[in-house]
Chains A and B, each alone.
Chain A
Amino acid sequence: MSENKKTLLSREYTRRQFLKLTGKGFAGVALSSSMLSLLGCTQAQAEAGLVNVIATPDYVLVANAAKCTGCQRCEINCTLANDGDCHPYMARIHARENLNFDKASTGVNGVSEDPHHGAGMFGTWSCAPETCHQCADPACMNACPMKAIYVEEGTGVRKIDESKCVGCGACVAACPWHMPRIDVDTKKSTKCISCGACVAGCPTSALKMVTWEEIAAAL
């Protein structure tokens, strides 16, 4: 067995163990101090549902709403690193639309009947960026009529083959979180490739990438 394959199997084992531990969230799960340290959160934050953990094949992406201050640097860092421009709307991480009001609320454009008790800057300050979940069964990939979305060998990252993409937007519609965006310049779909630029530039460590090797050590 090659070293690469061994690594992938080891990661997959750790990932399963981790998902078994966390299920769909952290509610009622007692996390070890080393795991809390690794994820950069407290037990209380985890139990309150503030810590969004996205288990990708390569790593765990942690987005902690308690630490997010709404600066939106993650968005521009994303496009500077990936596209060579400053283009927050096209970022693969979305911070802006939940900033003032809670987009997920039942109100029009996130403005609920009582926005001042809700999330966002017009509420009581809760906010956090949304990012690609790198789903095990990606709705974006399944919906693409051109088969332009594929799983990259080795990393497991869901990527877009721009030579095949026709910018139809089916992936945007299919994604439960509408994470892919159709680039206004290239007219191609674009999505997170787990480069880590957003994490590296987050000034309050509200975003964090933790490798499976680190998780394995903490489990």
Chain B
Amino acid sequence: MYGWTGKLLRVNLTTKACTVESSEKYFKYIGGKGMANRIMYDEVPAGTDPVAVENKIVFAIGPNTGSNAPCSGRTDIATLSCFTENNAIVDAHMGGDTAVMMKGCGFDAVIIEGASETPCYIYVTDNAAEVRDASHIWGKGNRETTALITKETTAGVNVVSIGPAGENLVNLSCVITGIAHCGGAGLGKIFGSKKCKAIAFYGTQGMQVADPKKVMELNDYVMKDLIGSNNNHVIPTVMQSWSEYSNKSSRWTGHPGLTWGAAEGGPIDTGESAPGQPTLVGYRCQKAYKDHGAVAEQYTVKMTGCATCPIRCYGSVYIPQMEKTWGVVGAHANTCLGNRGSSIGTTFIKNVKDVETEGDGALMLSIYAAIKSDDLGLWDNYGELAATLGYVMADDHKILKQILTEEEYNALPWDRANNGDVNALDDFYAALINPNHNMYKLTQGAYYVAKTFPELMGDAYLNSKALGLWGVMGGKKHHSSETAAQVGLLTNVLYNRDGMCHTIVNITGSGLPYEIQRNIIEDIFGEGALDKPSNYTKMNESKAKFAKFGVMRQVLHDSFTLCNWVWPMTFSPRKERGYRGDLSVEAQYMAAITGEDWTEESLDHAVERDIQLHRAMTIMAYKTTDMRNTHDVVAEWVYNDEKAYTEGNTYLSRADWQDALTMFYNQFGWNENGAPTRATLEKFDLKDVADDLEALGLLG
């Protein structure tokens, strides 16, 4: 079998039975997200409590996973949301080495169902698995958990685990694999509810491809002609001998004079890495420097990242002083070093003194906070948790003092925190993940925080720019109207969490001059598809097509699997191509890998099937076809009817946003309120879903 393995693993934590089944009936959903969502649709009824024994966790990968197509190491993990409205279906996306190892074990998907009474972990090997006792690991951090499971299994094993946050059923908790890669979406809590500490993979099997020569040719083509840097930024920050442009906001930071400053044996210059040089691509993204500025360069050992990915986007730092100063080994990596726990750290700890050089104190605080957060498995939801904490701590902690008891408040080390004692952060983290502490209520995710404190926070908090949700159902903004106006915001409304769609922001952030971006995008989607930054125009059909493309490619990448943080190849760094990329590459890979006759159109059709299914699942969770006035309601900070469409701002108007939704719904064949019709569902071979919706009175 080519691409897919043809098998799925079912692990029942109640009975400890591990069984292998065919996965072939799910191939029409491609894999990854599409496959995982269909399994959830078939096996977990809408309305199930996410922590009930009936909820399941589905890991899934696709036919492209592990093909060595650049960035083909992504895993999709689907389950029910524990932190957004109506607990609808969500996907956690994860990089690292899990996906490639899972394919080595021989599985397209792993279904974790039931619940164990005592702590356990799952060890998956070639075509088999076993459920093992984890009583001795329960309570430990993610780093120690990985070390212990590696000792008990084999060198090279891939471990996906939860920390104490997941064990304590914190809504904003995640799984961690490797040193930094994680899957968000409250997944830690679902693992914790099943008493499942970890799942570990070690596989030795290969993946067959129909046309290996073509796969290698495509790899070469992408590496030489199409790929840029992280987010496929195709223009470097600094002019190079080969470049026509530079752009300081680009993530192609590598250039002569910028180094991996703490590399073994002395600094390594990131140098020039012109298009056509595949053996230098990995030097293009110096992300530690991008995230934390010049002070981080001296501590960058190297860049790391996910299996199969040539874009090394994980700034990997080692700061020896941290151990002496704060008692933690100062090694950390992430693709967004300022994210994860870092923002929580800077929310609590103030006035940190520099240790050796100017700015190193702030850097070390950020790294310390991230190390601790990752070890606990606490998920900041792209700054949402820090924003919530900032909200309640405003005006001399006015709201926080009403949430905590006086005893709780006074017991927290505020003086130490205000005097830059980084270790004080440990006490705040302990409170955040302690179910018996009122601070814990702030880790429920914004939607439930607002519900818990309707008077203190409520709608004002939920709609505030400071919190920065895209939608009041609890989805965090993760690129929105600041990215290509209505287009960026529309890419969120399909999802039950932050949209995580990077297709559009990869374009607007590419570093290319606006005029070049516009010309290429208008050639594909029509006139008026791409507004000038902060100079928006009203909604039009070209924008609707562009927005649909954004989510279509994201779902393709999450299903295929590829990294949507780099793909699609809309642009190219090559001047001689007019900076035009190639949007047919995914379909070419699909054909070369499977040996089947795939085109862009047929692949799009399969992707849209996944989207229609996902929408149907959301409607079932919401028990209404009126998505426009429920699920798709965006936060108020997006609007300003007076300033909208004037130069210098990114506001939208309320009326225009309704037009935007209408045009977007039309693109997918949905009714006026955003619900799929029978005709649309049957077009995508989803008659059974249409029947189910009709029986529930939920057909559009």
Asked if B216 and A71 sit within 8 Å, CB to CB, the answer is no
Separation of A32 and B278 alpha carbons in the complex (Å): 27
A115 close to chain B: CB less than 8 A: yes
- Comparing A11-19, A55-63, A97-105, the segment that makes contact with chain B is A97-105
What A residues does B283 contact at CB under 8 A? 204
Known: A125-B304, A184-B204. A67 touches B268 (CB 8 A): yes
Asked if B155 and A103 sit within 8 Å, CB to CB, the answer is yes
- Comparing A72-80, A142-150, A152-160, A169-177, the segment that makes contact with chain B is A72-80
Known: A80-B216, A96-B97. A71 touches B147 (CB 8 A): no
B66 close to chain A: CB less than 8 A: yes
Residue of A67, A69, A97 near B155 (CB, 8 A) is A97
A123 close to chain B: CB less than 8 A: yes
Residue of B68, B104, B301 near A73 (CB, 8 A) is B68
Known: A76-B308, A109-B154, A115-B147. A184 touches B205 (CB 8 A): yes
Separation of A48 and B309 alpha carbons in the complex (Å): 28
What B residues does A69 contact at CB under 8 A? 282, 302-305, 312
B264 close to chain A: CB less than 8 A: yes
B209 close to chain A: CB less than 8 A: yes
Question: Per-residue 0/1 for A109-144: is the Cβ within 8 Å of any B Cβ (1 yes, 0 no)?
Answer: 111000111000111111000000000000000000
Residues from 177 to 195 in A contacting B, C-beta threshold 8 Å: 184-185
Asked if A44 and B265 sit within 8 Å, CB to CB, the answer is yes
Q: Return A163 CB to nearest CB of chain B, in Å.
A: 22
Asked if A73 and B206 sit within 8 Å, CB to CB, the answer is no
Residue of A41, A85, A124, A203 near B278 (CB, 8 A) is A203
Known: A48-B265, A84-B209. A107 touches B151 (CB 8 A): yes
Known: A71-B305, A72-B307, A109-B155. A87 touches B266 (CB 8 A): no
Separation of A111 and B66 alpha carbons in the complex (Å): 26
Residue of B156, B279, B329 near A205 (CB, 8 A) is B279
Question: Count of chain A residues with Cβ under 8 Å from any Cβ of B?
Answer: 61
Separation of A77 and B156 alpha carbons in the complex (Å): 19
A25 close to chain B: CB less than 8 A: no
Separation of A191 and B206 alpha carbons in the complex (Å): 16
What B residues does A122 contact at CB under 8 A? 143, 146-147, 179
A86 close to chain B: CB less than 8 A: yes
B208 close to chain A: CB less than 8 A: yes
Asked if A97 and B156 sit within 8 Å, CB to CB, the answer is yes
Q: Return B95 CB to nearest CB of chain A, in Å.
A: 11
Residue of A46, A87, A121 near B207 (CB, 8 A) is A87
Closest A residue to B103 using CB positions? A86
What B residues does A39 contact at CB under 8 A? none
Asked if A72 and B97 sit within 8 Å, CB to CB, the answer is yes
Asked if B266 and A42 sit within 8 Å, CB to CB, the answer is yes
Asked if B264 and A66 sit within 8 Å, CB to CB, the answer is yes
Residue of A45, A77, A79, A101 near B264 (CB, 8 A) is A45
Separation of A98 and B155 alpha carbons in the complex (Å): 8
A215 close to chain B: CB less than 8 A: no
Asked if A66 and B263 sit within 8 Å, CB to CB, the answer is yes
Asked if A110 and B150 sit within 8 Å, CB to CB, the answer is yes
Asked if A116 and B329 sit within 8 Å, CB to CB, the answer is yes
A213 close to chain B: CB less than 8 A: no
Known: A100-B150, A125-B301. A71 touches B279 (CB 8 A): no
Most buried by A among B97, B206, B308: B206
Q: Return A205 CB to nearest CB of chain B, in Å.
A: 5
Asked if A65 and B264 sit within 8 Å, CB to CB, the answer is yes
Known: A81-B216, A203-B282. A125 touches B316 (CB 8 A): yes
Asked if A201 and B212 sit within 8 Å, CB to CB, the answer is no
Q: Chain B: residues with CB nearer than 8 A to chain A? A: 66-68, 97, 100, 104, 143, 146-147, 150-151, 153-157, 178-179, 203-209, 212, 215-216, 219, 223, 263-266, 268, 278-283, 301-310, 312, 316, 318, 329, 331, 333
Closest 4 CB pairs of A and B: A87-B206, A45-B265, A203-B282, A203-B310
